Structure 1
Amino acid sequence: MYTFKKEERLCNKTIIDGLFRSGSSFLCYPYKVSWAFTDRFSVPAQVVFAAPKKRFKHAVDRNLIKRRMREAYRLHKQQQLYDQLTAMDKHLALSLVYVGTEVLDYITIEKKMLKMFGLLSQQLAK
């Protein structure tokens, strides 16, 4: 399933606040990943992407980074994340914050996204 629908985007401010307050997190450069199990959603995982204004002053750069992150997530979420979550019968709230200092090309972002999915699945299995 190569889609990224509105239901898969994390928009609820209370869930996002709870995610950063009490959720688990780890660093997989260039991403800082925060995650927490949540109540039932219509999809296995909801995700929010962020690129800080402090490091990337131009909105064009922030939008480019978030677009590349969304595309890499969209292509690999089913086999890397959704299959495991449905087998566990869990639902996940996830935030991906880009902490790198320069804009990386899509190939690198995709490789790092796959590495991040591997680390996340290890943490989910615990």
Structure 2
Amino acid sequence: MIKQAHSFGRKEKLKNKERITQLFEEGKTLKAYPLKLIYLSVDEQEVAIKVGVAVPKRSFKSAVKRNRIKRLMREAYRLNKAIVFNNTQGNFAFLFLYLGKEMPSFDQIAPRMELLLNNFNVQNHEKSTT
């Protein structure tokens, strides 16, 4: 079975509750409104980068709207994940948060996701060279 380049499989999803708590406590952040990336360098895991997405209940009371935004964020990450997978050494945990107050379209989220991932590469590359 050939793995597709633009997949977002089960192994890549961040589900460990302790790791998510650790991300909020110790993680570093990058922002590209309306998205925020919290990332943390972690020890061994089966894939290089594990990703989670979150939308605050305070901003969107309806679960349908929250799930729609999370789906858009996951899709934007899936299409742009090659940016970080091809340029990163080490293992990381990512958590993407949606900070906006209104319902976004994919055209609003996708370029911001790409910008966040590029900013992560720049920041991560600077740390690895120093």
Same fold (TM over 0.5): yes
Does the alignment pair 1:9 with 2:9? no
Does the alignment pair 1:100 with 2:100? yes
Look up the SS of the partner of 1:75 in the other structure: helix
Report the alpha carbon displacement of residue 47 of structure 1 after superposing the two structures with TM.
0.7
**Counterpart of 2:115?**
115
Superposition RMSD on alpha carbons, in Å?
0.9
Look up the SS of the partner of 1:84 in the other structure: coil
User: Structure 1 regions of 5+ residues with no counterpart?
Assistant: none
- Partner Cα separation in structure 2 for residue 27 and residue 109 of structure 1: 13
Report the alpha carbon displacement of residue 23 of structure 1 after superposing the two structures with TM.
1.2
Q: How does 1:1-126 map to 2 (within 5 A)?
A: 1-78=5-82, 80-85=83-88, 88=89, 90-126=90-126
TM score, norm. by length of structure 2: 0.90
User: Structure 2 regions of 5+ residues with no counterpart?
Assistant: none
Instruction: Report if aligned partners of 2:48, 2:91 keep a CA contact under 8 Å in 1.
Output: yes
- Partner Cα separation in structure 1 for residue 77 and residue 36 of structure 2: 14
- Partner Cα separation in structure 1 for residue 22 and residue 55 of structure 2: 19
After superposition, the C-alpha distances for 1:96-125 in whole angstroms (9 at most, x for unaligned) are: 010011111111111111111111111211
- Partner Cα separation in structure 2 for residue 102 and residue 81 of structure 1: 28
TM score, norm. by length of structure 1: 0.93
Q: Percent same amino acid at aligned positions?
A: 34
AA partner of residue 115 (structure 1): L
Report the alpha carbon displacement of residue 26 of structure 1 after superposing the two structures with TM.
2.2
- Partner Cα separation in structure 1 for residue 77 and residue 108 of structure 2: 13
Instruction: Report if aligned partners of 2:52, 2:95 keep a CA contact under 8 Å in 1.
Output: yes
